[in-house]
Amino acid sequence: MEFSLSAIANQVDTWLHANCASWLALTIEFVIVGLLCIALFAVLGLVLIMMERKVSAYMQLRLGPNRVGPKGMFQTLADTLKLLVKEGLTPNGADKFLFNLAPFIVMIAAMLVLAPIGFAKDFVIWDINIGVLYISAISSIGVIGILMAGWASNNKYSLLGAMRSGAQIVSYELSAGLSILTIVIFTQDMSMGQIVASQADGWWIWKGHIPVIISFIIFLIAVTAETNRAPFDLAEAESELTAGFHTEYSGMKFALFFLAEYVNIFIVCAVGATLFLGGWMPLHIGNWADFNRIMDYIPSSVWFFGKTFFLIFVIMWFRWTFPRLRIDQLLNLEWKYLLPISMFNLLLATFIAIQGWYL
């Protein structure tokens, strides 16, 4: 019996329905889903921050945190404890209601995007039939929280950071959306489950030819900018704006922003892995039957998380490879290069799809 998340979910489901009334079973299932999502958030926060610090350290020939626990494993946990006992200040001049509302909005936006993502074979919260449209719609709600935080703080650094972040996120959303569209053209379906299913005979990055490779590169650049990561981290450029839109936040509210930022990185990488790298589909090569069988033995959840973490690693790699852009360079890159290229690429993809020049 091989390991599979959907089998466990089905067993829990049948057990609950056998032992409880159906309304109670449904309620318990909802509670379990909620708790699992919270647990995923907490674990992702701990793992990704640790990974970020270790990756940065090794790229700079350092060791990184290595005192707390074996190899510094418990460093993030200790940091979280430190943030827990810090006071969450609200500055006197701030708009108190919006200031306290902003972290909630950012968290809700990050949590909602989890719904259509398939974490393993048949293991998805709700496979919405307009999945990719839903993802691009919800992920742009997060920018409202950022603008709200920056404006409500009544601090010049925060306002500048929020404005930059807003301009940047909305601009790069266009190229991200257009590169997602090329995949929709090939699959003829917007649901994430169908997109993964269409890659059973090869991932889109292999069988989609040049347009998909171009749109994959554009997607990577755009999501790096959308999550405010270096080299596009103008929103919180430490040397100019102290911390950008969360300058005035401290304690747990700051931690929530920080967590949402890392969860967003995970989410965009998960979407990228699903669209271009086949989601939970194992790697298959043509008619190498034995090789394919070995690949099938690896659980689908391992494939999904492996691809996602590979993309996260690439995005962390960017940070130590490219210097930070200036705001005008950033907007030029999007409006004068990426947007025209992705519009042209969309037409190219359509042409190839109609002619059937893909595998």
Residues 227-286 touching another protein, rule: CB under 8 A, are: 242, 247-248, 251-253, 255-256
Interaction of residue 30 with another protein, rule CB under 8 A = yes
Name all contacts of 51-56 with Cβ < 8 Å and 24+ positions apart: 51/309, 51/312, 51/313, 51/316, 52/262, 52/316, 55/313, 55/316, 55/317, 56/316, 56/319, 56/320
Helical (H) or strand (E) element with 235 = none
Q: Could you say which of 119, 123, 151, 206 contacts another protein (CB under 8 A)?
A: 151
**Overall residue count recorded for the chain in this entry:** 359
Interaction of residue 126 with another protein, rule CB under 8 A = yes
Give 287's Cβ-side CA count (13 Å radius).
0
Interaction of residue 226 with another protein, rule CB under 8 A = no
Nearest-angstrom CA–CA distance, 111 and 90: 25
Q: Could you say which of 90, 197, 309, 318 contacts another protein (CB under 8 A)?
A: 90
Nearer to another protein, 222 or 315 (CB): 222
Size of the site for another protein (CB under 8 A): 78
Nearer to another protein, 43 or 294 (CB): 43
Nearer to another protein, 51 or 83 (CB): 83
Q: Scan for tokens 């992920």, then name that residue.
A: 139
Q: Could you say which of 76, 139, 155, 179 contacts another protein (CB under 8 A)?
A: 155
Which of the residues 331 through 350 are near another protein (CB under 8 A)? Answer: 331-332, 335-336, 339-340, 343, 346-347, 350
Nearer to another protein, 265 or 316 (CB): 265
Interaction of residue 327 with another protein, rule CB under 8 A = yes
Interaction of residue 133 with another protein, rule CB under 8 A = yes
For the record, the structure tokens of 296 come out as: 């099938």
Nearer to another protein, 103 or 118 (CB): 103
Residue 39 burial class via C-beta count within 10 angstroms: exposed 0-12, middle 13-18, buried 19 and up: exposed
